[in-house]
Amino acid sequence: MKAAWYLDIGPAEVLQVGEMPKPDPKAGQVQVRIHAHGVNPTDWKRRAGQRGGAPTERMIPGYDGAGVIAALGDGVSTARLGERVWVWEGFHQQPHGTAAEFVCVDQSRAIALPTSLSFEEGACLGVPALTACHSLMLAGPLDGEVVIVTGAAGVVCNYAVQLAKVMGARVLALVRGDADKEEDAYRAGADQVINADRDDFLKAALSFTDGQGARCVVDVDLGAHLHIA
C-alpha cells in the first residue's frame, strides 16, 4: 500500500511517501481502505515531538479518516465487510494511522457512515466532532438551555454549534473577523452570532440570556475570554 510516514521528529519535511506492506487486522479489528484522511493539530504536534519523544519505528500519522471495511479480524461480524465507515483515533497507541491506503483499528473505532455523507465529510469527524460532543455532554441535558460557543467558525466549535442545536439548546455564537465567519456560524444553526471585532460580546450575552448568563460555554481559547467569564 501507499502511505506517508516519518522516522524522526521534526517539521513536515521529515514525512516520506512510499510503498509498504498493508496491515492485517487482529482479533476484534477491521481493516479499512481509506478514501479520505483528516489532518488535526494532534498529528503535527506528535510528529514535531510535542507529544512523546522520537519514534522507535516507522510512524504513519493520522487519527481520523473514512473509507470502506476491506477485511475483518477474528470476532468481527461478517456483515461489516464492505461497510462505509468513519474512523477515529486511528493513530492512538499504535504506529500506523490513517495517512495510508489501509489502516487497522478496533471495530468500535470504525463507525457507520451514512450514504448522505461523503468520505471527505466523514474524515472531518473524529477528533474535532468528538471533542465538541464531549464538551457538551459534560454539561448534562441541554434541551431548552442556552449554550455560548466561542470561535464558532473554527472546526471544533462549529461542530459544537451544530450538536448543541440537535440537543435542543439555544446557541449564541462568537466569531472574529469577516462576515464569512458569521455566515459559517449561522449555517451551523446558531440563533445569534456576535462578532467580537465589532460587537460588545458581554452585553450581547446578557441580553440573549435575559441577564442570567449561560450554564454551558464551549471555549477553545480560555485565556482570551476568561476576563468576561
What per-residue confidence (pLDDT) applies to 50? 87
Q: Place 173 in a pLDDT band, splitting at 50, 70 and 90.
A: very high
Rounded distance, CA 72 to CA 31, Å?
6
- For the stretch 88-119, pLDDT in tens is 999 988 999 999 999 999 999 999 999 999 99
Q: Are 68 and 127 in contact (CB under 8 A)?
A: no
Percent of the chain surpassing pLDDT 90: 84
Closest CA to 64 of 95, 80, 93, 43: 43
Question: Would the pLDDT of 226 be above 70?
Answer: no
Sort strands 216-218 and 146-149 into parallel, antiparallel or unpaired.
Answer: parallel
- For the stretch 14-25, pLDDT in tens is 999 999 999 999
For every residue of the chain, which 3-state class applies, written as one string? CEEEEECCCCCHHHCEEEECCCCCCCCCEEEEEEEEEECCHHHHHHHCCCCCCCCCCCEECCCEEEEEEEEECCCCCHHHCCCEEEECCCCCCCCECCCECEEEEEHHHEEECCCCCCHHHHHCCCHHHHHHHHHHHCCCCCCCCEEEECCCCCHHHHHHHHHHHHCCCEEEEEECCCHHHHHHHHHHCCCEEEECCCCCHHHHHHHHCCCCCCCEEECCCHHHHHHHC
Question: Would the pLDDT of 169 be above 60?
Answer: yes
- Backbone angles phi and psi of 164, in degrees to 5: -60, -40
Cross-strand bridge partners of residue 103: 32
Q: Place 228 in a pLDDT band, splitting at 50, 70 and 90.
A: low
Going from the C-alpha of 127 to that of each of 55, 63, 124, 133, 144, the distances in angstroms are 22, 7, 8, 10, 27
Handedness of CA 159, 92, 45, 67 (dihedral sign): negative
Q: Place 77 in a pLDDT band, splitting at 50, 70 and 90.
A: very high
Q: Place 223 in a pLDDT band, splitting at 50, 70 and 90.
A: low
Q: Place 225 in a pLDDT band, splitting at 50, 70 and 90.
A: low
Question: Would the pLDDT of 222 be above 80?
Answer: no
**Superfamily per CATH, domain 2-125:** Medium-chain alcohol dehydrogenases, catalytic domain (3.90.180.10)
What per-residue confidence (pLDDT) applies to 92? 87
What is the arithmetic mean of pLDDT over 27-56? Answer: 91
Cross-strand bridge partners of residue 23: none
CATH number for region 128-228 = 3.40.50.720
Question: Would the pLDDT of 54 be above 80?
Answer: no
Question: Torsion-angle region of residue 133: left (phi > 0), alpha (psi -120 to 50) or beta?
Answer: alpha
0.75 surpassed by pTM: yes
Our CA angle for 144, 155, 99, nearest 5°, is: 135
Domain with CATH 3.90.180.10 in the chain: 2-125
What per-residue confidence (pLDDT) applies to 55? 84
Domain with CATH 3.40.50.720 in the chain: 128-228
Question: Would the pLDDT of 229 be above 60?
Answer: no
- For the stretch 121-147, pLDDT in tens is 999 999 999 999 999 999 999 999 999
